[in-house]
Amino acid sequence: MKSTFEKMGGTYTLGADGIYYPNLVSTDEEPHYGKYGMMRKTYLKEHRPAMYSLYMLEDRLTAHLNAVDDEAKERMEVLLLQMMEKQGITEALKAHDQMAWFGVVNNIRNAAEEMVLVELIYR
């Protein structure tokens, strides 16, 4: 009679001690997430423990965090460009008054990041 593991396609290897050991291979993808993925993971752990546990049990946590991180980075780039264009921030301003340009760009970056956090991380 086959075990449930064998019915699902799993195999065993006979060890030197006479015990059969399951051949386990991780299907989880490599983590490449950064700042936003780590923030999402912390949020899930602290505020959505059931969802975090579900992702862990289904072996989908790393894939989810990678996807959230990638999407957040793309969204930040788009928002920065759109907001800078709308406010008329140009290279001419950067060449004329670097401190003013730096201040405005930092404000835009902070506003864009707040939007990304609300839309993607803390949902």
pTM of the model: 0.74
**Mean predicted confidence (pLDDT) in 34-62:** 95
Answer with the residue of higher pLDDT: 81 or 23: 81
94: Cβ–Cβ under 8 A, 6 or more apart, which residues? 101
Q: State what percent of residues in the chain have pLDDT above 90.
A: 73
Strand, coil or helix: 40: helix
Which of 11-20, 36-45, 89-98 is predicted with the least confidence, judged by mean pLDDT? 11-20
**pLDDT category of residue 25 using cuts at 50, 70 and 90:** low
Q: Is pLDDT of 26 > 70?
A: no
Task: List the end-to-end C-alpha distance of the chain, in Å, as a whole number.
Answer: 46
Q: What does the pLDDT read at residue 8?
A: 76
pLDDT on residue 66 = 96
